[in-house]
Amino acid sequence: MTNPIITLTTDYGNGDHLVGVLKGVILRINPDVHIVDITHDIAPFDLLDAAVTIAEASKYFPPRTIHVVIVDPGVGTERRPLLTRADTNYYIAPDNGVLSLIYDREESLTVRHITTEHYFLQPISQTFHGRDVFAPVAAWLTKNWQPASMGDAITDFKRFNIPKPKQDGYVLKGVILRIDRFGNLMTNFTAADLPEEILKSGKLQLLLNDKEVSRLVANFAQGQPNEPVAVIGSSGFIEVVVNKASASRVLSIGRGTPATLVLG
């Protein structure tokens, strides 16, 4: 009844024809598809950025949504195109680990190597598999809903580990995973990593380079002007933020900066 949904997450940017081509390819195969842009501004070739984005966004989509994720530094090589079924959604992406957080999260998982070339756009280029492989396979899937027709299930797909905090004596060593548009610093600490007394007291000692964050608060507005505070972010990770300002700018902290949590 309802139109099928295909989402797009790429590092193509919005400046040229690439995204338009993906949409055209999909709509020519099935003009009833509802295409939803998640983002096309993944940093070029940044698999971790894409992995976090699709894992966070896909949680909220309805059953049978098809997510196309194209960050593909290995285009033209032997890396395989994959069709993954995880819980109630489908994912179409290159086999380079970009779905690692989906693999980690989902209990029920079928990963297929897409090999049925008659669903591809011919001739297949060596440089634009978004157009020639990923988009058309997504569109055909909305016509037949037969994942098995796309290729056989495999188990040796690539995955990488999101860096996890490591305990080292009295400290927990983590990292700034990501910085958003507001300058909020997302660490790889989750609420579960915090000792109970920090959650109760709201007092902590979190070191970023030579800067210290000493309060865990419920929301941005509880921070004093220019005071960096920690909050439990909407994705479950601890974020360092400054009320109505950019923590990244206030603290001069970039992505990849070590974050050290003093325990006890």
Nearer to its own copies, 2 or 146 (CB): 2
Binding mask 190-229 for its own copies (x = CB under 8 A): ----------------------------xxxxx-------
Q: How far is the CB of 136 from its own copies (least distance, A)?
A: 10
Strands (E), 14-152: 34-39, 66-70, 81-86, 89-94, 109-113
Q: How far is the CB of 238 from its own copies (least distance, A)?
A: 12
Q: How far is the CB of 195 from its own copies (least distance, A)?
A: 21
Lookup result for tokens 């910085």 = 179
Segment (H or E) for 19: helix 18-29
Nearer to its own copies, 19 or 251 (CB): 19
Segment (H or E) for 57: helix 47-58
Nearest to 170 by CA among 203, 141, 137, 205: 205
Structure tokens of 44? 């070029």
Look up residue 169 and give its amino acid. Answer: G
Nearer to its own copies, 42 or 261 (CB): 42
Return the residues of window 84-123 that contact its own copies according to CB under 8 A. Answer: none
d(CA 102, CA 121): 27
**Of these, 15, 169, 225, 264, which contacts its own copies (CB under 8 A)?**
15
Instruction: Tell me: does residue 35 bind its own copies (CB under 8 A).
Output: yes
Q: How far is the CB of 170 from its own copies (least distance, A)?
A: 29
DSSP β-ladder status, 89-94 and 153-154:
unpaired
**Of these, 5, 83, 114, 229, which contacts its own copies (CB under 8 A)?**
5
Query: DSSP 3-state helix, strand, coil percentages of the chain (rounded to 5)?
Result: 25, 30, 40
Beta carbons within 10 angstroms of residue 18's beta carbon: 17
Q: How far is the CB of 166 from its own copies (least distance, A)?
A: 26
d(CA 181, CA 248): 10
d(CA 84, CA 164): 24
Q: How far is the CB of 184 from its own copies (least distance, A)?
A: 9
Distances (CA, A) of 166 to 127, 169, 185, 189, 262: 39, 10, 19, 10, 12
Return the residues of window 139-168 that contact its own copies according to CB under 8 A. Answer: none
Q: How far is the CB of 212 from its own copies (least distance, A)?
A: 22
The residue range among 49-57, 107-115, 147-155, 195-203 that interacts with its own copies, by the rule CB under 8 A, is 49-57
**Of these, 180, 212, 215, 227, which contacts its own copies (CB under 8 A)?**
180
Beta carbons within 10 angstroms of residue 41's beta carbon: 14
Binding positions for its own copies, rule: CB under 8 A? 2-3, 5, 7, 9, 11-21, 23-25, 27-28, 31-32, 34-41, 44-45, 52-54, 56-62, 65, 73-77, 125-128, 131, 178, 180-182, 218-222, 231-235, 239, 244
